[in-house]
Structure 1
Amino acid sequence: MPLQLVLALRPLGCETPVLAASQLPELALGAVDLLIVDGDGLDGLALVRAFRALPVHAATPVLLVGSGEARMIRRAAIESGATDVLVRPVDPLDLQIRARTLIDLSLARRDAARTASLMDRHVAGIRAESEWREREIIQRLMLAAEFRDDQAGDHLTRVAGCAIAIAEGLGLSEDGANDIALASTMHDIGKIGIPDSILLKNGPLTDAEREEMKQHAERGYRMLHDSPSRLLQLASEIALTHHERWDGTGYPRGLSGTDIPLSGRIIAVADVFDALISERVYKAAWPPEKARAYLVEHRGSHFDPACVDAFLSRWDDICGLMRDRPAGAGAT
């Protein structure tokens, strides 16, 4: 078989190398601006296909020069991946014009790719800054909750830790679990609007006070839901639904089953568990095993069964969290 020649042209003014088909792998090492293939011979079209299969040359212009019936040559060349075709006899001026045009196309594509890469990095930087600011907002809202109740911080941290364990037990991604955990720290943000006489009352609430306390779910939702922030929208969803019950007897909207967003079902388990193991002015802290038994008992009535099962599957992690952040007196 005669040696198949390949002419690889770099930008005008640079040295023009001539390569054989056996040297094709060398082209995978870097970009070229135009490849001219002598299509006469048995492997010309195969060479174009092999070149086009190299990832670095998926869009590199290829000009094939061949002999024969023009229509058949053009069809075969384009099907093999060539960008343009010249049929012999070739006018040198025509070859020069075609080559310059294809090189300009290659350089324009490279400039566009470089610009797109710079834009991607710029957008990524903006997104990272936006996410950082979202997290800062959430942390400052947590501080606002702690100003009302100095025990709220530990409660929120434990609920967030339980939320991660449940979410991972359900098979959510690490990012998904972390988002729910972070957003959960604002699940009681609506309590900012509850009077101190109710929020900090040293004893059980009256029926009227309890109804006022229940308003915190809707208030928290209204505070957060119209934010363009994805995390704050998730937080608004949790604030609204973490007191809903699987059987539909919860508040504020009486949702049931999977009509309750998954984030709300997860935080319902985490929030109640932490409330049970925490001391209150009207009750002693429950031992963790008793609180765990409560979740099992109300699996399918108060709580999503899948969320309870996920919680139980991560029990060792929950126990580690309780050791690191022991429960004391705190908000309900």
Structure 2
Amino acid sequence: MLDTEKRTVLVVDDIPENIELLSAVLRNEYKVKAALNGELALKIARSDNKPDIILLDVMMPKMDGYEVCRQLKLDVSTASIPVIFVTAKSEVIDEQKGFDFGAVDYITKPISPPIVSARIKSHLALYDQSRHLERLVAQRTQDLHKTRLEVIHRLGKAAEYKDNETGMHVIRMSYFCKFMAERLGMSEEWVDLLHNAAPMHDIGKIGIPDAILLKPGKLDNEEWEVMKNHAAYGGEIIGDSDEPLLNMAREIAVCHHEKWDGTGYPNGLAGKDIPLSARIVSIADVFDALTSERPYKKAWSEERAIDLIKSEAGKHFDPDLVPLFLSCLDEVRSVQKRFRDESFD
């Protein structure tokens, strides 16, 4: 085996002779690094070329092995590195203390070379297995997340298709929401949630009768009252959940037709009582609806749509979010070009 292929063992001991003894036992099979004190051991462990396993003495000046182990386990970059205490402290209470600090094994001096070699091999094998399982779990989690997002997007598109939409609307408006949330300085996690929850805003339209939803002309008062139920239906379809994405999707579905001045529906919420996610979606949804062509209407010009958005600041829309949206227009135009609707000619 080439030296570059060898696993790395960090030996930490304040006595050079002890380091040399362990190095003699290990150097044929492993690449050995050494540290004469705890501070240097932590520096090596936190470097780009981390050791695969650490053999750690307990009794050292300034910083003993227990403290070194404690700091290793507190640092996310080094917490998973197996630590084996190699020490002359042979009392059961000392051994228990070592395990309490997170060590995987405890070897007493004077060492037995075969035991040291066997323990290192065993714990490296367990370490490799653990990392392999972590990778599998991470990949599975990523696959599940991707599948969940795909289902959400498809459901969002289903609602739009039922409403004479092309499905591109939910993609465009979700990007508009993302741009606004980023401008607002929200966390990356919150921005991602909004981007993926926004397509569910009109899922409740699935519950509206086609005779009303697809009516080519203006709805009468009775029909309009039925249409407004889609917000509440959306909340019922998504349901209550502790999952952050579905929780945000529900608040958007229920509240995206609320208005800043309290004249919206279904609950007549006003101002900041309306969830921020829904206030953002409201602007993005209306702008894209206005500037999109549909079988029953021509697309508005961008200038006309912007004039309406501005005029509704403080009435329909959050007055602080309107200028934020306008600052995103370059990105908005790029998304409109990328995700164009098919022509209705």
Separation in 1 of the partners of 2:302 and 2:170?
17
- Matching of residue 193 in structure 1 with residue 193 in structure 2: no
The match for 2:146 is 132
| 8 Å Cα contact 1:248-1:254 kept in structure 2 | yes
Offset of 1:223 from its aligned partner? 0.4
Offset of 1:19 from its aligned partner? 7.4
Equivalent of 2:136 in 122, 127, 147 = 122
Query: Could you tell me the TM-score, scaled by structure 2's length?
Result: 0.68
Equivalent of 1:246 in 250, 260, 266 = 260
Change (3 A) 1:206 1:7: same
Identity %: 36
Matches within 5 A, 1:15-164: 30=51, 34-35=55-56, 45=61, 52=68, 59-61=83-85, 63=87, 95-96=109-110, 114=128, 116-164=130-178
- Greater relative contact order, per chain length (Cα 8 Å cut-off, separation 6+): 1
Deviations 1:204-260 (A, max 9, x none): 110011110000011011001235654333222211111011222211111222222
- Matching of residue 208 in structure 1 with residue 228 in structure 2: no
Equivalent of 1:7 in 1, 15, 18 = 18
Equivalent of 2:320 in 306, 318, 331 = 306
Aligned residues: 297
Offset of 1:128 from its aligned partner? 1.2
Change (3 A) 1:324 1:101: closer
| 8 Å Cα contact 1:6-1:18 kept in structure 2 | no
Separation in 2 of the partners of 1:300 and 1:198?
30
The match for 1:222 is 236
Q: Which amino acid aligns with 2:194?
A: I
Separation in 1 of the partners of 2:219 and 2:137?
51
Change (3 A) 1:300 1:109: farther
Query: Is there any run of 5+ residues in structure 2 with no aligned partner, and where?
Result: 1-13, 73-77
Q: Which amino acid aligns with 2:16?
A: L
Moved more, 197-206 or 170-179: 170-179
Change (3 A) 1:177 1:27: closer
Separation in 1 of the partners of 2:223 and 2:245?
31
The match for 2:251 is 237
SS in 1 for 2:200: coil
Question: Quick check: which has more Rg, 1 or 2?
Answer: 1
Deviations 1:34-72 (A, max 9, x none): 4558x8xxxx625868x949967895525369xxxxxxx
Moved more, 121-130 or 281-290: 281-290
Moved more, 146-155 or 277-286: 277-286
| 8 Å Cα contact 1:5-1:20 kept in structure 2 | no
Q: Which amino acid aligns with 2:263?
A: T
| 8 Å Cα contact 1:21-1:47 kept in structure 2 | no
| 8 Å Cα contact 2:156-2:201 kept in structure 1 | no
The match for 1:263 is 277
| 8 Å Cα contact 2:54-2:82 kept in structure 1 | no
Offset of 1:116 from its aligned partner? 4.6
Separation in 1 of the partners of 2:217 and 2:141?
47
Separation in 1 of the partners of 2:291 and 2:56?
72
Change (3 A) 1:208 1:113: same
Q: Which amino acid aligns with 2:270?
A: S
RMSD value, Cα = 4.4
The match for 2:181 is 167
SS in 1 for 2:320: helix
Equivalent of 1:183 in 194, 197, 203 = 197
| 8 Å Cα contact 1:244-1:250 kept in structure 2 | yes
SS in 1 for 2:265: coil
Deviations 1:163-186 (A, max 9, x none): 122122212345533432232212
Offset of 1:275 from its aligned partner? 2.3
SS in 1 for 2:87: strand
| 8 Å Cα contact 2:52-2:82 kept in structure 1 | no
